[in-house]
Amino acid sequence: MGKDTFQLGGQEWPKVTWWKMKGMRFVYMTLWAAMITSATNGYDGSLMNGLEAMPSWNASYNHPQGSTLGLLAASMAIGSMLSIPIVPYVADVMGRRAGVVVGCCIMLCGVAMVSIGYHIALFVVGRIILGFGLGISQECSPLLVTELVHPQHRAVYSSIYNSLWYVGSLIGACVALGTNHIHGEWGWRVPCLLQGIPSLCQLVFIWTVPESPRWLISKGKFEQAKKILAYVHAQGDENDALVNVEFDEIQQTIALEKQFEGNNWSEFWSTAGNRHRSIILISIGFFSQWSGNGIVSYFLPQVLNLIGITDSNTVLTINLILSAVNVVSATGICFWVDYFGRRKLFLTSSISMLVCFISTTIALARFANGPEGNDNAAHAVIAFIFLFYIAYNIGFSGMLVSYSSEILPYRLRAKGLTLMFFCVDLSLWFNQYVNPIALLNIQWKYYIVYCVFLAFEIFVVWKYYIETKETPLEEIVKFFDGENAILGGTAPSEKIVELTARDGQSIQVDGEKAITTQVEVRA
Provide the pLDDT for residue 75.
Answer: 87
Residue 196 domain-assigned? yes
Query: Alpha helices, DSSP H only, in 206-240?
Result: 213-218, 222-234
Q: Quick one: the chain helix, strand, coil %, rounded to 5?
A: 75, 5, 20
Average pLDDT over residues 108-128: 89
Contacts of 114 (CB under 8 A, 6+ apart): 123, 126, 127, 130, 192, 195
Does 428 fall in a domain? yes
- Greater confidence (470 vs 498) lies with 470
User: Is 403 part of a structural domain of the chain?
Assistant: yes
What is the spatial distance between Cα 247 and Cα 109, in angstroms, rounded to a whole number? 39
Per-residue pLDDT of 197-250, as tens digits, reads: 999 999 999 999 999 998 999 898 999 999 999 999 999 999 999 899 889 888
What pLDDT band is residue 2 in, cutting at 50, 70 and 90?
low
Residue 523 lies in a domain: no
Tell me what pLDDT residue 373 has.
Answer: 62
Give the integer Cα–Cα distance in Å for 53 and 50. Answer: 5
pLDDT digits (tens, 9 = 90+) for 4-48: 777 666 677 888 888 888 889 999 999 999 989 988 888 887 787
The enclosing domain of 406 has a CATH number of: 1.20.1250.20
| 236: Cα within 13 Å, side-chain hemisphere | 4
User: In whole angstroms, what is the distance from residue 299 CA to residue 47 CA?
Assistant: 11
Q: Give the ranges where 306-374 is alpha helix by DSSP (H).
A: 312-334, 337-340, 342-369
Q: Quickly count: other Cβ atoms within 10 Å of residue 369's Cβ.
A: 10
Neighbours of 186 (CB within 10 A): 12
Q: What is the mean pLDDT of the chain?
A: 82
What is the rounded average pLDDT of the residues 354-382?
Answer: 87
Q: Are the C-beta atoms of 79 and 106 separated by less than 8 Å?
A: no
pLDDT bucket at 101, cuts 50 / 70 / 90: very high
Does the residue 233 lie in any domain?
Answer: yes
pLDDT of residue 384: 93
CA distance linking residue 166 with residue 22, whole number of Å: 30
- As for how many domains the chain has, the answer is 1
Q: What is the mean pLDDT of residues 257-269?
A: 68
**102 versus 305: which is more confidently predicted?**
102
Residue 259 maps to a domain: yes
Q: Name every residue whose Cβ is closer than 8 Å to that of residue 140 and which is 6 or more positions away in sequence.
A: 90, 91, 96, 97, 99, 100, 103
Of residues 53 and 201, more confidently modeled:
201
Q: Is 521 helix (H, G, I), strand (E, B) or coil?
A: coil
Q: How confident is the model at residue 505 (pLDDT cuts 50, 70, 90)?
A: very low
CA distances from 127 to 221, 359, 495 (A): 38, 35, 51
Q: Alpha-carbon dihedral of residues 42, 46, 51, 52, nearest 10 degrees?
A: 120
Domain boundaries, position 25: 18-475
Q: 281-290, 457-466, 473-482: which has the minimum mean pLDDT?
A: 473-482
> What pLDDT is recorded for position 368?
84
Q: How confident is the model at residue 520 (pLDDT cuts 50, 70, 90)?
A: very low
Indicate the burial class of 26 (C-beta count within 10 angstroms; 0-12, 13-18, 19 or more).
middle
pTM of the complete model: 0.71
C-alpha span between 324 and 306 (Å, rounded): 23
The pLDDT confidence band at residue 499, using thresholds 50, 70 and 90, is: very low
Range of 48-52, 165-169, 220-224 with top mean pLDDT: 220-224
Q: Which amino acid is at 396?
A: F
- Please report whether residue 239 resides in a domain: yes
Residue 364: inside a domain, yes or no?
Answer: yes
Q: Are 91 and 414 in contact (CB under 8 A)?
A: yes
The band of 494, judged by pLDDT with boundaries at 50, 70 and 90, is very low
User: What backbone torsions phi and psi does residue 502 show, to the nearest 5 degrees?
Assistant: -65, -30
Q: How confident is the model at residue 136 (pLDDT cuts 50, 70, 90)?
A: very high
What confidence score (pLDDT) does residue 66 get?
A: 74
Length of the chain: 523
Nearest CA among 444, 451, 309, 440 for reference residue 366: 444
Confidence at residue 228, expressed as pLDDT on a 0 to 100 scale: 95
pLDDT of residue 104: 94
